[in-house]
Amino acid sequence: MSHHGVSLEAIHQARRRIAGQVVRTPLVRSAALSARFEAEILLKLETCQPTGAFKLRGATNMIAALIERHGSEALAAGVVTASTGNHGRAVAYAAAQQGVPAVICLSRLVPPDKVAAIEALGAEARRVGASQDEAFEEVERLVSERGMTLIPPFDDPLVAAGQGTIGLELMEDCPDLDRVIVGLSGGGLLGGIGVAVKAIRPECRVTGVSLSRGAAMWESLQAGYPVAVEEVESLGDSLGGGIGRDNRCTLALVREVMDDHVQVSERAIARAMVAILEHEKRLVEGAAAVGLAAIEEHGLAVRGRKVALILSGNAVSLEILDRARVLAGR
């Protein structure tokens, strides 16, 4: 196992743990996008998860692994996390499945519809501070004072291994895949997928896509250590947030498995959201549309190739959709 703690074997173990609790999502060909880019454009529909996003894989794997190792009484005080929304929903759902109480700490930037979705799953949602880092301070307090167990959004080998199960599914459904394009924020998704894909098909390119502003992983990779950035409002709000001052897993993981990395503008994200709605009849978050945004904005070399885009996150309010349409000029 590598120094970041994520291996192909760990990902296979994760798949065994989450079976029956998490959906094995479809990989579907987009006729419209394939014709437009003269390529095989495949969409990995993580929007089909019960919580609408890939985060359910990592949260379910970690909670199940902790119970497997230490017994359910180890989580009697409950689990806690900080989240921009989708990870919070995932922890709330996975905890409810196991009968474990959950508290989700969120910054004031998180849209109200995402807060409501967390509460509907039976978890307590706490609004704290103006950033993900400030929300995380409340998490640390609950861990130390109430003995709750942290389920990190990304920076943990069990969480990254859970997300990596997507990579196994991609390789089974398209063994000759040429490239996978993945939204990149904390790095658990790209890192996990990258480990699986590179172990099975080393020649498959792994491309990361970050926001053009407030991209902590982008800055941290340039610097070589975790860098804090100011969070900004974005259509791709799920890709906001820092990578943690003492990141111990995902920075190394991303550096090891990622082949190339681009940033996308708000306008490109808006255009991609609208295109996916128009051509695929799928309403997705900005963070789910960044793969298409990257191909369009950067003219990525996809012609004649088999390319998978990860579509994850469907918590889109009508207000956000209207904003995307205006920005896209529609």
Domains 8-53+156-327 and 55-150 fall in the same CATH topology: yes
* Domain boundaries along the sequence of the chain: 8-53+156-327, 55-150
Just give the CATH number of 8-53+156-327: 3.40.50.1100
Torsion on CA atoms 47, 49, 55, 57, rounded to nearest 10: -140
Return the pLDDT at 2: 60
Q: CB-based contacts of 227: which residues, under 8 Å, 6+ apart?
A: 216, 219, 220
pTM, two decimal places: 0.94
pLDDT given for residue 74 in this prediction? 87
Domain 55-150 carries which CATH code?
Answer: 3.40.50.1100
Confidence (pLDDT) at 28: 98
Residues whose CB falls within 8 Å of the CB of residue 310, separated by 6 or more in sequence, listed in order: 44, 46, 54, 166, 180, 181, 182, 183, 189, 193, 288, 291
Give catalytic residue positions. Answer: 55, 312
pLDDT for 317:
85
pLDDT in tens, 90-116: 999 999 999 999 999 998 888 787 788
Q: Can you list the residues of the chain whose pLDDT is less than 70?
A: 1-3, 84
- Chain segment 127-154, per-residue pLDDT in tens: 998 887 788 899 999 999 999 999 999 9
CB contact at 8 A, 54 and 180: no
Separation between Cα atoms, residue 291 and residue 181, nearest integer Å: 5
